[in-house]
Structure 1
Amino acid sequence: MTQGLRERKRAATAQALAEAAFGLAKERGLDGFVIDEVAELAGYSRRTFANHYPCKEAAVASVAYAGIEAAADALEDVSDGRPLLDAVEVVLRLQLTTAGLSRMREVLALARAHPSLEPHVYHVQHRMRLEVEERVAAVAAGRYPASYLTLLVGAVYGMVSTALEGLVDVRLPGDPPSRDAVEFDEFLTEVFNHLRTGF
C-alpha cells in the first residue's frame, strides 16, 4: 500500500500547508492570520490550499498527521504469524515519535485556547486510528473478528490519548524533570502490559 509519486506529492503539499498554518498559529494565535498567509508561507496558491483543506483550523490540526503513512506502512513488514497486539505496538511506537507527540500536545494546547480547532483535532485523531485499524485488519487476515480489531485499536488509542490530553502525567524527552511523571516509553510499555494481562 506504499504511495505512488502523485500521492506522495499531494501528501507533501498538504504537509507543507499544515506546517505553515501550525507555525503561524503558534506565533500569532489562531485568529492572528488568514489563509492567504498560510498559502504564501508554504509557497502555494489559495486555490491549492482549498484543494487540501476547508479552513485554516483543519490545516493546523493536520500537522499531527505527519508520519502516519510511514508508520502504518511498517505493518506490511510485520509477519502474519505475529500476535496482533505486538503488531499494533510496533506501528504505535513508530507513529508516536517524540517530535510527533510534542506536536500533538502543542495542537491540543491550541485547541484548548481556540475551541473552533477542537473538532478538527478530533477528526485527525480519528483518521489516525482508522488508518491503523485498516492496516491491522490486513495483517490479521481474517484471524480475528472485525469487532475485536476495532475494540483492540480503540482501547490502545484511548489509553494513549490520556497521556496526550494531560490526564496522565507523562514526560516526553525534552520536558522538564518531574518527580511524579512517567517517561512516555515506560507509559507505552505499561499500556501494552495491561492489554496483555488485564487490569
Structure 2
Amino acid sequence: MTQGLRERKRAATAQALAEAAFGLAKERGLDGFVIDEVAELAGYSRRTFANHYPCKEAAVASVAYAGIEAAADALEDVSDGRPLLDAVEVVLRLQLTTAGLSRMREVLALARAHLSLAPHVYHVQHRMRLEVEERVAAVAAGRYPASYLTLLVGAVYGMVSTALEGLVDVRLPGDPPSRDAVEFDEFLTEVFNHLRTGF
C-alpha cells in the first residue's frame, strides 16, 4: 500500500498546511488567524489550502493524522507469524511517540477550548480508526472473523483514547512529575494485559 509520488506530494502539502494551522492555533487561539495566514506560513496559496481543507478547523484537526500511514505500514511489516494482538501492540509501541502523543493531547485541549474544532477532531479520529481497521483486516488475511477485527481495533482505540483525553492519569515523557500518574509504557502494558486476559 505504498503511496505513489503524487499521493506523497499531496500528503506532504496537506501536512504542511495542517502544521501551519496547528502552530497558529497554539500561538494565537483558533480565532486569532485566518486561512490566508495559514497558506502563507506553509508556503502555498489559498487555493491550495481549499484543495485540501474546507476550513482552518479541519486543517488544525488533521495534524493528529500525521504518522498514520507509517503506523499502518509498520503493522504489515511486523505481522508475519505473530498473533494479531501482538502485532498491534508492537506497532502502538513503535508509533505512539512522545511527540505524537503530546500533539494529540494538544489538539484535544484546543477542541475543548474551541467547540467549533471538536467535530473536525472527531472526524479525524474516526478516519484514523477506519484506516487502521482496514489495514488490520488486510494483515489478518481471513484468519479472524470480521467482528473480531472491529472489536479489537475499537477496544485498543478506546483504551488509548482514555489516556489522550485525560480520563486516565497517564504521564508522558516530558510531563511534570505526578505521584498518581502511570507512565505511558506501563499504561500500554496494562491495556494489552486486559485485552489478553479480560477485566
TM-score, L = length of structure 1 = 0.98
CA deviations over 1:47-90 (Å, ceiling 9, x no partner): 10011001000000001111111111012212432101011112
Task: Please show how residues 21-170 of structure 1 align to structure 2 within 5 Å.
Answer: 21-170=21-170
Give, in whole Å, the separation in 2 of the partners of 1:71 and 1:137: 14
SS state of the match for residue 168, structure 1?
Answer: coil
* CA RMSD in angstroms, aligned pairs only: 0.9
Give, in whole Å, the separation in 2 of the partners of 1:132 and 1:2: 15
Deviates more, 1:67-76 or 1:148-157: 67-76
Instruction: Tell me, yes or no, if the aligned pair for 1:87 and 1:136 is still in contact at 8 Å.
Output: no
CA deviations over 1:119-158 (Å, ceiling 9, x no partner): 1111111111111111111111001111110011000000
Instruction: Tell me, yes or no, if the aligned pair for 1:17 and 1:49 is still in contact at 8 Å.
Output: yes
Match status 1:191 vs 2:191: yes
Give, in whole Å, the separation in 2 of the partners of 1:47 and 1:133: 33
Match of 1:179 in 2: 179
1:33 CA displacement: 0.5
Instruction: Tell me, yes or no, if the aligned pair for 1:57 and 1:120 is still in contact at 8 Å.
Output: yes
SS state of the match for residue 81, structure 1?
Answer: coil
Residues 1:128 and 1:162: Cα distance change in structure 2 (over 3 Å): same
Residues 1:148 and 1:72: Cα distance change in structure 2 (over 3 Å): same
1:186 CA displacement: 0.7
Give, in whole Å, the separation in 2 of the partners of 1:95 and 1:7: 21
Give, in whole Å, the separation in 1 of the partners of 2:105 and 2:85: 25
Give, in whole Å, the separation in 2 of the partners of 1:125 and 1:95: 16
5+ residue gaps, structure 1: none
Residues 1:94 and 1:126: Cα distance change in structure 2 (over 3 Å): farther
Deviates more, 1:121-130 or 1:158-167: 121-130
Residues 1:27 and 1:41: Cα distance change in structure 2 (over 3 Å): same
5+ residue gaps, structure 2: none
1:91 CA displacement: 2.2
Instruction: Tell me, yes or no, if the aligned pair for 1:72 and 1:95 is still in contact at 8 Å.
Output: no
CA deviations over 1:14-39 (Å, ceiling 9, x no partner): 00000000000001100010100000
Instruction: Tell me, yes or no, if the aligned pair for 1:89 and 1:192 is still in contact at 8 Å.
Output: yes
User: Size of the alignment, in residue pairs?
Assistant: 199
Deviates more, 1:143-152 or 1:75-84: 75-84
Instruction: Tell me, yes or no, if the aligned pair for 1:78 and 1:139 is still in contact at 8 Å.
Output: no
Instruction: Tell me, yes or no, if the aligned pair for 1:36 and 1:46 is still in contact at 8 Å.
Output: yes
Give, in whole Å, the separation in 2 of the partners of 1:134 and 1:80: 17
